């Protein structure tokens, strides 16, 4: 397995951890805060969250939503760097390395943030709720794996 494949798998797992907050809404809401509200509503229903849990999960979901919103805004520059390099007569590998390192640094910070938020979610949920959510994530991961095995992107 190449380093890029390994990093991609780690990143995918971290996003699945963040997906614990997402709890799998089937729709594709692009406003992260509206999406967070839908996620919390689904978690409240599916996991029978108490009022106190709902408040705490909502706060977490909106913190994660803000992080994803910021990451999306920052992430648009990576592709631009490659597009710029394609237009040059020669590739400035130093510039690409710099951009990749900056991108990796921001990603590492996001990963640390998501791990903290995942731990907070873990502390909010009961063992029964965590088990139900774990089963849901496993099922969702299996669906994604099957999709990718059949040529899906």
Q: Where are the domains of the chain?
A: 28-144
Mean pLDDT confidence for 11-36: 62
Inter-residue contact 12 to 108 (CB < 8 Å): no
Q: How many CA atoms lie within 13 A of 31 on its CB side?
A: 4
When pLDDT is cut at 50, 70 and 90, the band that residue 25 belongs to is: very low
State the pLDDT at residue 130: 95
pTM flag (> 0.85): no
């Amino acid at each position: 397995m190449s380093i890029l494949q390994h990093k991609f798998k780690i990143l995918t797992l971290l996003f699945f951890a963040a997906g614990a907050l997402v709890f799998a809404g089937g729709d594709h809401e692009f406003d992260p805060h509206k999406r967070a509200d839908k996620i919390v509503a689904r978690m409240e229903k599916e996991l029978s969250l108490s009022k106190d849990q709902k408040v705490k999960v909502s706060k977490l979901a909106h913190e994660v939503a803000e992080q994803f919103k910021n990451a999306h805004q920052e992430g648009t520059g990576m592709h631009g760097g490659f597009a710029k390099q394609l237009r040059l007569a020669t590739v400035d590998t130093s510039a690409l390395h710099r951009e990749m390192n900056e991108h990796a640094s921001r990603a590492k910070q996001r990963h640390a943030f998501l791990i903290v938020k995942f731990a907070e979610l873990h502390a909010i949920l009961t063992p029964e709720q965590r088990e139900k959510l774990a089963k849901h994530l496993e099922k969702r991961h299996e669906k994604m794996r099957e999709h990718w095995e059949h040529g899906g992107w």
